């Protein structure tokens, strides 16, 4: 179901300078939000991007679509390098093929616009309607079609965002993203703000739309269970780096990177029999500040299986199994040795 790379990211880096001084502003440090990551999005697939807050997953999406300016690296899409492309070409030729769904369905819709205006806005911006020439009929038809696509009805056209529930607003956000017929949709935590019983509705909708329209998704979330469910491949981020990329079927059964192992063990499973017999690995400490510079592995400070080399040499992403890469000096094709991570069952 997945094919050629559609969007390729190479060495992407987003650093935010920390400045001091009033008359002589000078840089005193950098927040390394995204610090040299590479991956590719293949035609028709869903690539999941998971990690804890501050790991750089949202910044990655924002850098790809140029809501923030990358400080280095390249993003290849439709024959352009999005990292350096001028604003005008970006708007005219790229954005309509590359759209984004945002996390907060309350903040991402203008409260003063009706649903018709909200969903019609991208159509007008990209010159995809004959609005103004043949009246509004054409635009209204297309907006109606989009609303039906995301499970809303034409009678919602003239309503305002506050009249909708969170799940419905997220549907409006999705309709907006799909209005211009994009090839790639970046989904930034699209279900985290929704109630549990509503999350599944939106996840199913995203899957249906992908099947119908042949979309390619970059699906960002901190909930590994949701990510694994919807994705073909899962990339795990830690402190600005991708530490592991694995087929979704393999990541739970055979995680290779110690951080992935710990992350998986920390996620509770809603089944008392299973949950109470699991080995939990309590990671020591918290995620360090992204301003820190590293010579070696970023996870070494908290890693239960570190060796001397981890502090001095930065581990590259190595393909240990077909389609399964990890950045760790200790791991191998069969993962970490049983019991190496410690942990206990109770």
Contact between 1 and another protein by CB under 8 A: the answer reads no
Least Cβ distance, residue 75 to another protein (angstroms): 27
Q: Which of 268, 316, 323, 332 binds another protein (CB under 8 A)?
A: 268
Decide if residue 270 touches another protein (CB under 8 A).
yes
- Decide if residue 206 touches another protein (CB under 8 A): no
- A 10 A CB-CB count for 121 gives 15
Residue with tokens 């369905």: 105
- Site stretch for another protein (CB under 8 A), options 106-114, 116-124, 161-169, 303-311: 161-169
Considering only 93, 271, 313, 319, the residue that binds another protein (CB under 8 A) is 271
Please identify, using beta-carbon distances, which residue of 27 and 249 lies nearer to another protein: 249
152 interacts with another protein by CB under 8 A: yes
- Which range binds another protein by CB under 8 A, 2-10, 74-82, 164-172, 212-220? 164-172
Radius of gyration of the chain (CA): 22
- CA angle 341/328/301 to nearest 5° reads 60
Considering only residues 55 through 94, tell me which ones interact with another protein, judged by CB under 8 A.
none
Applying the rule CB under 8 A, the residues between 167 and 196 that interact with another protein are 167-168, 195-196
Q: Which of 20, 25, 276, 292 binds another protein (CB under 8 A)?
A: 276
Q: How far is CA 235 from CA 39, 71, 222, in A?
A: 9, 22, 11
Q: How far apart are the C-alpha atoms of 18 and 76, rounded to whole Å? A: 29
Shortest Cβ 52–another protein spacing (Å): 4
Nearest to 315 by CA among 251, 256, 264, 252: 256
Minimum CB distance to another protein smaller for 65 or for 202: 202
Q: Exposure of 319 by Cβ count < 10 A (0-12 exposed, 13-18 middle, 19+ buried)?
A: exposed
Torsion of CA 181, 182, 186, 188, to 10 degrees: -20
For residue 52, give the nearest of 258, 220, 292, 301 by alpha carbon.
Answer: 220
CB-nearer residue toward another protein: 48 or 73: 48
Is residue 48 a contact residue for another protein (CB under 8 A)?
Answer: no
Residue choice 46, 60, 183, 199 for contact with another protein (CB under 8 A): 199
Q: Which of 78, 107, 282, 307 binds another protein (CB under 8 A)?
A: 282
Cβ 167 vs Cβ 138: under 8 Å: no
- Interface residue with another protein, options 67, 78, 107, 266 (CB under 8 A): 266
Rounded to whole angstroms, how far apart are CA atoms 228 and 41? 16
Q: Are 95 and 141 in contact (CB under 8 A)?
A: no
Quick check: 248 binds another protein (CB under 8 A)?
yes
User: Using the rule CB under 8 A, is 300 a contact of another protein?
Assistant: no
- For another protein, give the closer residue by CB, 197 or 293: 197
Q: What angle do CA 135, 136, 139 make, to 5 degrees?
A: 130
Question: Is residue 158 at the binding interface for another protein, with CB under 8 A as the rule?
Answer: no
What's the token pair of residue 132? Answer: 């103004």
Take residue 305 and report the two structure tokens written for it: 């299986």
Interface residues with another protein (CB under 8 A)?
Answer: 52-53, 151-153, 165, 167-168, 195-201, 203-205, 207, 222, 224-226, 228-229, 248-249, 252, 262-276, 280, 282-283, 286-287
């Amino acid at each position: 179901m997945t094919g050629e790379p559609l969007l390729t990211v190479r060495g992407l880096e987003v650093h935010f300078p920390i400045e001091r001084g009033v008359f002589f502003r000078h840089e005193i440090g950098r927040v390394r939000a995204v610090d040299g990551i590479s991956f590719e999005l293949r035609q028709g697939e869903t690539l999941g991007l998971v990690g804890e807050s501050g790991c750089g997953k949202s910044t990655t999406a924002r850098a790809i679509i140029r809501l923030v300016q990358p400080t280095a690296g390249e993003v290849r899409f439709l024959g352009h390098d999005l990292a350096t492309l001028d604003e005008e070409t970006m708007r005219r030729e790229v954005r309509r093929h590359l759209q984004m769904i945002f996390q907060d369905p309350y903040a991402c819709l203008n409260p003063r616009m009706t649903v018709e205006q909200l969903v019609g806005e991208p159509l007008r911006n990209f010159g995809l309607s004959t609005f103004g020439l043949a009246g509004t009929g054409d635009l209204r038809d297309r907006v109606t079609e989009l609303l039906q696509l995301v499970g809303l009805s034409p009678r919602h056209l003239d309503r305002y965002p506050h009249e909708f529930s969170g799940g419905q607003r997220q549907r409006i956000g999705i309709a907006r993203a799909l209005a211009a017929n994009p090839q790639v949709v970046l989904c930034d935590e699209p279900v985290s703000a929704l109630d549990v019983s509503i999350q599944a509705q939106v996840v199913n909708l995203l899957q249906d739309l992908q099947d119908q329209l042949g979309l390619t998704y970059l699906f960002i979330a901190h909930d590994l269970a949701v990510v694994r469910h919807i994705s073909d491949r899962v990339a795990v981020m830690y402190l600005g780096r991708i530490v592991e990329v694995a087929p979704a079927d393999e990541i739970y059964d055979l995680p290779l990177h110690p951080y992935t192992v710990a992350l998986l063990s920390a996620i509770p499973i809603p089944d008392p029999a299973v949950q109470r017999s699991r080995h939990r690995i309590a990671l020591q400490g918290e995620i360090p500040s992204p301003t820190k510079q590293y010579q070696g592995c970023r996870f070494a400070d908290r890693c239960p299986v570190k060796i001397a080399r981890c502090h001095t040499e930065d581990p590259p992403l190595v393909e240990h199994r077909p389609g399964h890469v990890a950045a760790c000096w200790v791991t191998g094709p069969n993962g970490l040795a049983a019991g190496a991570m410690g942990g206990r069952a109770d």
